[in-house]
Structure 1
């Protein structure tokens, strides 16, 4: 079993040297194009100063349904919630009129619908959430029936792009093809030739696993897939299946359960540098959680995640202690909803959702609620470029331009090593 991993060492070292001399590997694939970029703090100001309200905006009540508890609370919850709270504070400071109602999705499709019903009963006009695609699916029909706009900051499943009941749904993160492309390019650049893809058994896991397999194939890398139950009491059988594949790299698509699987893979002799995790596991405390006594055993492991600008991430870090995953996307959800309500002249759901796509494309560039609101009041067609990037939303409510960070564990600490902008081909 140790043969493929040992053979891959020489290939990986050669690939690393080649990447260093050539500036990276192949950055293209059907459906998405990724390009490395510098931090965007100068291009996208977090908030333009506005000293007086540009207009008396209608009060918009936002209900947020995000993971305070459950399997995504540690990795996503804090940054998602902080992103929304920062946005509401900025919007109101810049002349907006937004009220925030809080709710816990619990990362549970049985709990989240109850939270949504409570928030609607308390007067929410729009909803931000949930954290997981599968959890959003548990209440999307309710919001469609009620004609209540929903923005998701971290749902990457392709299913939302085509399903009929997503007519009041949009998202500020690119579909999973963006993440799969960043992940595939990173694995191939390190010399992977045969990847074991292990995915959790849900909409997110299944769709990302298929996309990753396709993207790896485009790069000439073979793959095999194993699906696991994220609620299983033990993942020994899953790890055994991965080992039996004789792969030289592992792509692990998981949430909280990924900690236990990663720990077991390393215990069974899989080199940490051969393991690549998905955004649901992006957590700066991850190395220590995998091995509290010696987090350096995780050195070389890589993980990528959607991200905000460097400047905005620093604001989130101050609240979360160092995790900003999807925080920028959550911030942009709130700003877009507030601008759409302003453009619509009220809180009518159908009018708000109709205004959403046009706010993020084709018009005059603006970078904050205050700056954009002034233009809206003047009757100017705007193109909001958010803290998470240009967005450029399509008619289906999908963001077509996204920003990702690629991070690697070095000396027992997770460090961001590259920023990549991804454009989804139309």
Structure 2
């Protein structure tokens, strides 16, 4: 009988110890929002997957803040690329008392959501939103780790004229904040060429016959599209069907491994740019990440996963340096962070834009994306 009492007491003590240990471990909530449904769902899910890998790596390493082990959890929401759904997702995460937010994926949802995070004092890092408006609203909580559209669109415009020899250019955008922004900056950068057409569609359109018939009559040698790869693929298919032989160009939303399949072939027809650029010294780390990503999800990295991964890591590095996951305490540290990520060095200017952001230009050959050059 006495042995039973002793066993029961030991069991109670052990259970109490476990409970105390669990109570002692701080839970840090990282929010993530992307378009994981709709035409860009494959890119939104990749963004989320990259953030999730970072959270799992941090937990596996026993990450500590102020000497105490913490457990990170990822609270993921889908905004479908819709601003209204994006603000609803943002408010839901704020109400859940997240410690930081990675996202949103699209500029059109990042911009309105950023006001909600700012009002709540929650740091936000986007791994993919490139509209200059996002970081130029006066919100000290907004950061991004890729170059913005001023650089992306402007660089593509200069490249179209100086390297591709474009003289007559047609421009189409999808009316999203991202699409309009990158198209506007492309036009600014394409000095020396004639803009023979400015057309627009939507990010859910599938028939571009009227736009392309009008453009065909103007005989451009290059068509620039501001939008995402799902629409770009259909657009390029219809350009070929109508006999438009112009070169096709776009920003990072277009510049994916999926484009050849979506377009029915992109070899020699497309030049695009991705925000970010990997120098030879960083290639090994990115290749290792891509291999781990493929092993985990059975998917190839397209664009955003490594940037979302780095966004989480930069944010948590600021928490460690500040010795706190309290947004008010680590926010000023994040603004001054210097973090070496797998995508390159991460630090921010006074607006929250990445310093010295790089771009990578790509073409397509044998159904695969081929690097042209990295520019800064």
Q: TM-score, normalised by structure 2?
A: 0.81
In 2 relative to 1, CA 245–353 (structure 1 residues): closer, same or farther, beyond 3 Å? Answer: farther
- Aligned counterpart for 2:102 among listed residues 128, 142, 147: 128
Please show how residues 39-54 of structure 1 align to structure 2 within 5 Å: none
Tell me how far 1:129 sits from its aligned partner: 0.9
Segments of 5+ residues of structure 2 without an aligned counterpart are 1-23, 64-69
Of 305, 308, 312, which aligns to 2:274?
305
Q: How far 1:263 sits from its partner (Å)?
A: 1.1
- Equivalent in 333, 348, 362 of residue 407 of structure 1: 362
SS in 1 for 2:29: strand
Match of 2:250 among 271, 274, 277: 277
Q: Which moved more, 1:59-68 or 1:182-191?
A: 182-191
The secondary structure found in structure 1 opposite 2:219 is coil
- Check 1:168–1:260 CA distance in 2 against 1; reply closer, same or farther (3 A cut): same
Query: Secondary structure of 1:280's partner?
Result: coil
Q: CA offsets, 1:238-296, max 9 Å, x none?
A: 21332243321111111222222111111111226x111221122323212222xxx3x
Contact kept? 2:83, 2:112, Cα under 8 Å: yes
Verify the 8 A CA contact 1:180 1:212 in the aligned structure 2. yes
1:321 and 2:309 correspond: no
If asked which structure has higher relative contact order (CA below 8 Å, sep 6+), I would say: 1
C-alpha separation in 1, matches of 2:148 and 2:355: 8
Return the alpha-carbon distance in structure 1 between the equivalents of residues 298 and 255 of structure 2: 14
Out of 23, 43, 53, the residue aligned to residue 86 of structure 1 is 53
| 1:111 partnered with 2:85 | yes
Aligned match of 2:3: none
* TM value normalised by structure 1: 0.72
Instruction: Indicate conservation of the 8 Å contact 1:70/1:108, yes or no.
Output: no
Higher Rg: 2
Match of 1:183? 156
User: Cα RMSD over matched residues?
Assistant: 2.4
For 1:171 and 1:81, locate their aligned partners in 2 and report how far apart those are by CA, in whole Å.
16
Instruction: Tell me the distance in 2 between the aligned counterparts of 1:228 and 1:64.
Output: 28
User: What secondary structure does 1:252 align onto?
Assistant: strand
CA distance in 2, matches of 1:57, 1:215: 52
Kept in 2, the 8 Å contact 1:58–1:347? The answer is no
Q: 1:139 to 1:174 in 2, by over 3 A?
A: same
Q: What does the per-residue CA deviation read over 1:151-209, in whole Å, with 9 as the maximum and x for residues that have no partner? A: 11111101123213x23111111111232244234423122112111111122122211
